[in-house]
Amino acid sequence: MAKKACRTCKRIVIGNSCPVCKTSDLTTTFQGIVVIFDVESDIAKKLGITAPGKYAIRV
């Protein structure tokens, strides 16, 4: 199944809806994947990420 990214939170989603936002507003045309382990890190703050996981850098 193709990987998609949530347009709302940028989380990488497998399936047809984001488990966090409950939205089906997903895109397959995202760029880059970043894995966030620490939500206090600079990259997480820059991307506005509040939960660990895989995220697209640009959606």
Who contacts 9 (Cβ-Cβ below 8 Å, separation ≥6)?
Answer: 18, 20, 21, 49, 55
Token couple for 40: 């206090």
Query: Contacting Zn ion (CB under 5 A), which of 4, 5, 12, 18?
Result: 18
**Of residues 17 and 43, the one with the C-beta less far from Zn ion:** 17
59 binds Zn ion (CB under 5 A): no
Among 52, 48, 57, 53, smallest CA distance to 30 is for: 57
- Site membership for Zn ion, residue 20 (CB under 5 A): yes
Per CB under 5 A, which region of 18-26, 27-35, 37-45, 48-56 contacts Zn ion? 18-26
